[in-house]
Structure 1
Amino acid sequence: MMPWDGIVEFVAVAQTESFTLAALRLAISTAQVSRQVSQLENRLATKLFYRTTRKVSLTEEGAIYFRHCRQVLDALEEAERAISSLQHSPQGLIKMTAPVTYGETFVMPVVIDFMAQYPQVEVQCELTNKQLDLVDGGFDLAIRLGHLADSSMIAKRLTNRRQYICASTDYLAKNGVPTSLADLVKHNCLIGSQPHWNVRENGQNKVIKVQGKLQCSSGLSLLSAAKKGMGIVQLPGYYVNDAIASGELVVLLADYQQDKEGIWALYPQNRYLSAKVKLLVEKLMRELPKH
């Protein structure tokens, strides 16, 4: 038995979470996929999958093995492309993650255009506001917003965003206009995932704690609440630009506004960056809006 036997089948099952779907992807029979994976497990003396009638999932050992196999297969795939015309026609899977609203509104339209341009590319995109572990999750790419805390990742700036503190004229007419950060304690602040806002005071970026009656992880919901006069909100320009332009919202405390933040492509240092991912990142850099 060759040392590579079963690895391609194993990776396909891990990616699709199905022996049947893996067989379709590889254009072989389900029985052959099952046989190859079973032989691989026997050779490793390790159970790689939990199997039920409804679901196939990786064991802890399987997840570790998958991360290493995926890197090796990606490197082999890229080596072949380096000496063939496939370098100009990327193919294969890109597994990525992005924040929900920004991903739906801006990232996925670019990704869909990319897939139309390169029909052999597959994409699995998980839209979530959680900070997923890229290595454990087997992700090739993550889109992250604002300040980055994880220095173990390689980051490439795609574009920028600016945060605005704003409220409706109705709210301000009833509650007054704050002229300093200290005034915010007198107001109902509409809070996102974390009870703090990013501001700049005396030339220094800082984080201030805010409080209010509504906390929600959805920027669109906070925008709606602000338009209805429920309170003061801090949101990126891609949420509030139209409302500011129409006069529905008024920008407040502009002197305390931070400089533009980055919107980033993030990927693990130990993940082989394939040509398809490079091309997608370059497209995102060109086409994501500048806020």
Structure 2
Amino acid sequence: MRWEGISEFVCVAEYESFTQGAKTLGISTAQVSRQISALEQRLNIKLLYRTTRRVSLTEEGRVFYQHCRGVLDGLDAAEQAVSNLQSKPQGKIKLTAPVTYGEQQLLPLINDFMVQYQDIEVSAFLSNQKIDLIEGGYDLAIRIGKLNDSTMMAKKLSQRTNFVCAAPAYLDRYGIPTALNDLSQHNCLLGTRDYWHFIDTDPRVSEDAGKEKNLRVSGTVQYNSGYSLVDAALKGLGIVQLPDYYVQKYLASGELVSLLDDYREPKENIWAVYPHNRHLSPKIRLLVDYLAEQLV
């Protein structure tokens, strides 16, 4: 209510004309007159002298105009600041991502992004735990695999492949597994879970052919560190199942050998997940689009 009539009053005061003020505001002269009259009544002050030839400010009107002009200028500045945020991304982005994927893939790209957009600040918390974005005040999360939270918006960024592999020295000593059942005869290097993901591909062996399955495995090593599992595999301690970003370079160099390729599970999707918001912040949208472009 306190804003009603302010723009109309300032415009009429500056043009010294109800007609020109109404034309500038895009409303009728009668509406301008009603708004200013209501403003004067609310303030119990006469703001304008009205004659058939001109409009002028009263003494009280001049004081009120000076303050109102400053208020409207401040509003214009506020709107311009918001507009600048839309056209020039800036401000803080708080995100979370899995530890190793964040270290190896995500944060180097975000650093490149910040070189281009130096008015953006990023706070990243790397964790393999699923974090509540709303409770934690996060703008964005990077998640891998199937999504269960339907209250969030998501955009696919990329995919990853899990490889089962071992060092040539281990295979020379213990043989090469050619079927899933063969893994029971091998030392499997475990992460945080005691099962590996596969897909059944042989209808002669399983009626679940073509379906994903979890196969329980065992071995002498269990680490919650992918890097340590890679090191164990490279030293010939056993067979490991890890995402591509851990083992690709060793597969390319021949230090590790890919196994059971026919049973490899489908690629897992990598997602950008963010709270449901029809008006996604431009800086968040820009970052998500950038990551989708880079993580091919």
Range of TM-score over shorter length: 0.5 to 0.7
Report the CA distance between 1:230 and its aligned residue.
0.9
What is the rounded CA distance, in whole Å, between the counterparts of 1:245 and 1:262 in structure 2?
23
Alpha-carbon distance change, 193 to 178 in structure 1, aligned in 2, over 3 angstroms: same
Checking the alignment, whether the CA contact within 8 Å between 1:196 and 1:210 is kept in structure 2 is: yes
Per-residue CA shift, 1:84-142, capped at 9, x if unaligned? 24322111111101111111111111111222222221111001122112121111111
Choose 1 or 2 for highest CA Rg. Answer: 2
Residues of 2 paired with 1:147 and 1:192: CA distance? 19
Aligned to 2:87: 88
Query: How far apart are residue 82 of structure 1 and its match?
Result: 9.7
- Contact 1:81-1:87 at 8 Å conserved across structures: no
1:226–1:281 distance in 2 versus 1, CA, 3 Å: same
Q: Secondary structure at the match of 2:106?
A: helix
> What is the CA distance between 1:151 and its match in structure 2?
3.3
Cα distance, 1:271–1:144 mapped onto 2, change above 3 Å: farther
SS in structure 2 at match of 1:84: helix
Q: After TM superposition, give the deviation of residue 269 of structure 1 in Å.
A: 2.4
Q: Which of 239, 253, 260 matches 2:246? A: 239
Secondary structure class of the residue paired with 2:274: strand
The residue that corresponds to 2:46 in the other structure is none
Partner of 2:269, secondary structure, is: strand
Trace 1:125-274 onto structure 2 (pairs within 5 A).
125-201=124-200, 202-269=209-276, 273-274=280-281
Question: 1:193 offset after TM fit, Å?
Answer: 2.1
Question: Which ranges of structure 2 fall in alignment gaps of 5 or more residues?
Answer: 1-77, 201-208
Partner in structure 2 of residue 19 of structure 1: none
2:289 maps to what in 1?
Answer: 282
Secondary structure in structure 2 of the residue aligned to 1:93: strand
Q: Residues 158 and 285 of structure 1 are in contact (CA less than 8 Å); yes or no, is this contact kept in structure 2?
A: yes
* AA at the equivalent of 1:234: Q
Aligned pairs (5 A) from 1:40-59: none
Note closer, same or farther for the CA distance 1:271–1:212 as it changes in structure 2 (3 Å cut).
farther
Distance 1:81 1:134, change over 3 A: farther
State the aligned residue count: 211
Aligned to 1:66: none
Q: What is the Cα deviation at residue 180 of structure 1?
A: 1.0
**TM-score (normalizing by structure 2):** 0.67
Cα deviation, 1:46-78, whole Å, max 9, x if unaligned, reads xxxxxxxxxxxxxxxxxxxxxxxxxxxxxxxxx
Q: 1:124 — aligned with what? A: 123
CA–CA separation in structure 1 for the residues paired with 2:131 and 2:106: 17
* Structure 2 CA distance for partners of 1:265 and 1:80, relative to 1, 3 Å: farther
User: Equivalent pairs: percent with the same residue?
Assistant: 53
Are 1:113 and 2:120 counterparts? no
1:104 aligned onto 2:103:
yes
Mapped to 2, the partners of 1:80 and 1:223 lie a distance apart of 54
Cα distance in 2 for partners of 1:115, 1:160 equals 24
Q: d(CA) in 2 for partners of 1:106 and 1:271?
A: 28
The two structures have a TM-score, normalised by structure 1, of 0.68
